[in-house]
Structure 1
């Protein structure tokens, strides 16, 4: 649980709002144990060159976690595991960028964190209620089981993601092309942290922004390849949208519009 006590002190002195972005930056090398970056607070960034075990970012509370392979590694990041199972369990806020593949139950019970990863095992986004997940590679079976909120974007290069996604509570949608000059309100907050507003955010802009962040933080070859071929790569992304979440967002947007008219 490296980071939990540190974040506890940040919260004790500054509350949930925490500190400005990257006020505390911890760089590490090697293999991290269980629950690396657990409950990480706003203003704390952990950057690991190596790999981590299960429960990375458990209860993430506004911090940022970046994990990429060691510089001397000769393995293809997009084909190898870099974090274990049950990553981002119960996360409420923050950002994660993983240059590599995650194990099973990625982002289970995530309620507000943003994550970019290059592949996930079975049961990804299980019971997720909020936040945004971008998967730049293959997703295992039973994806989105019990997913009632948040959204996910999956790069479906083979075109068979629908066979592995649990469609009981979600719909699969395309990512439409948008004007390159389109602005999205609420994607970044005043500290530069990602703050997703699914009512206002346009899918393509949001997706591309998160991939650009991933490349900037991790040097991801996979992410850069997708950006270099964006016009064709965009068409291969599938948006996973919970049905009840879409209904709730539509109601909220209608109320906001009515309030503005009034």
Structure 2
């Protein structure tokens, strides 16, 4: 998965009102970019940090720039655009790069399911007599000393998704929590018990109930080291649930 056009580098001035970010471009121009991330973005808003923006040519858009990447520390990149992970996961699954999810011939997105009226990110079907696989995708960008943590803020929505996945397992289907690790410095993924202990407890409960937990890291810099290179998922990352 590649960006359609080369990204534009700048320096972060500030993020505010959740969905806005002021960025200084190399020529000194200051622009306001759309920040497509509803989370806290903990660790992904360094003062004067290097950021990369995409630009839309759609004249109807009020804000042509979208914040895509940030350098969280020297040599470490994170993708903060939470509209990307579902497409990253789908592309990797359909390309056969996710060993645990090969063999399915059909993929649907945003399918309604569950007693709590959720929408599943990806529903995989058409694997002979194998059960359908309900795949919930989460973006991981919170990093500390090589460890990735999810969530970066209390998430009642995420807790609901875990309950829904457990219910699908009870019905006889596969249910998968898929962590898209959009941070090049993350080597393992853990539940962020220090941020949302209830989510951590539910995640372990879901694992015990048969929900499969996967994590794959994106190669954000691309093969040539260019931050505009792409978002392809490149390798599996261990998920550690022990406290």
User: Quick check: which one's helix share is greater?
Assistant: 1
TM-score (norm: length of structure 1): 0.28
Instruction: Considering Cα pairs closer than 8 Å and 6+ residues apart, tell me whether 1 or 2 has the greater RCO.
Output: 2
TM-score (norm: length of structure 2): 0.29
